[in-house]
Amino acid sequence: MRGLLCLLLYAVMIGSGGAGLALVFLNYDGRLSIRFIGACAILLSFGFYLGWIDFLAPALWKWRARRRFRQGVLRGQIDLVTMSLLAHDKLKPWDAQSLDIRALAYRLVGRFDDALTDHSELIRLNPNSSNFVARGVTYMHKGRLDHAFADFNEAITIDPKIAVAYFHRGNLSRIKGDDGKALADYNEVIALDPNFVGAFLNRGQVYAAQGDRDRAIYDFDCAIARDPKNAVAYCLRGAAYADAGDLDRAIDDFNAAIKLDPKSATAYQGRAKCYQSRSDFVSALADYNKSIEINPNVAIVFINRASLYAAQGRLDRAIADYHEAIRLEPSNTAARHKLEAACQATSRVGT
Same domain, 243 and 265: yes
CB 43 within 8 A of CB 20: yes
Same domain, 204 and 286: yes
Same domain, 257 and 283: yes
Same domain, 219 and 253: yes
Alpha-carbon separation of residue 349 from 255, 308, 345 (angstroms): 39, 18, 6
Q: Is residue 244 part of a domain?
A: yes
Phi-psi region of 328 (alpha: psi -120 to 50; beta: other; left: phi over 0): alpha
Residue 200's CB: how many other CB atoms inside 10 A? 27
Q: Is residue 57 part of a domain?
A: yes
What's the pLDDT at 35?
62
- Report pTM: 0.75
CB 205 within 8 A of CB 179: no
3-class SS string, 118-130: HHHHHHHHCCCHH
Report the number of distinct structural domains present in the chain.
4
Alpha-carbon separation of residue 176 from 140, 147, 180 (angstroms): 12, 14, 11
Q: Is residue 238 part of a domain?
A: yes
What's the pLDDT at 89?
46
Same domain, 274 and 318: no
Q: Is residue 80 part of a domain?
A: no
Same domain, 108 and 65: no
Q: Is residue 49 part of a domain?
A: yes
Q: Is residue 15 part of a domain?
A: yes
What's the pLDDT at 203?
97
Domain final residue pick, 256, 277, 295: 295
For residue 329, the 8-state DSSP code is -
Q: Is residue 266 part of a domain?
A: yes
**How many Å apart are CA 201 and CA 232, to the nearest integer?**
9
Q: Which residues of the chain have pLDDT under 70?
A: 1-7, 9-10, 14, 17-38, 51-59, 61-95, 347-351
Same domain, 255 and 210: yes
Buried b (16+ CB within 10 A) or exposed e, 342-351: beeeeeeeee
For residue 91, the 8-state DSSP code is S
User: Torsion angle, CA of 86/92/96/101, rounded to 10 degrees?
Assistant: 0
The domain that holds 217 is classified in CATH as 1.25.40.10
**How many Å apart are CA 349 and CA 318, to the nearest integer?**
14
What's the pLDDT at 274?
97
**How many Å apart are CA 98 and CA 104, to the nearest integer?**
10
Domain final residue pick, 178, 204, 222: 178
CB 69 within 8 A of CB 86: yes
CB 273 within 8 A of CB 239: no
Same domain, 155 and 215: no
Same domain, 139 and 159: yes
Tell me the residue range of the domain where 66 lies: 1-72
Same domain, 117 and 174: yes
Same domain, 259 and 209: yes
**How many Å apart are CA 111 and CA 195, to the nearest integer?**
32
Same domain, 30 and 65: yes
Q: Is residue 79 part of a domain?
A: no
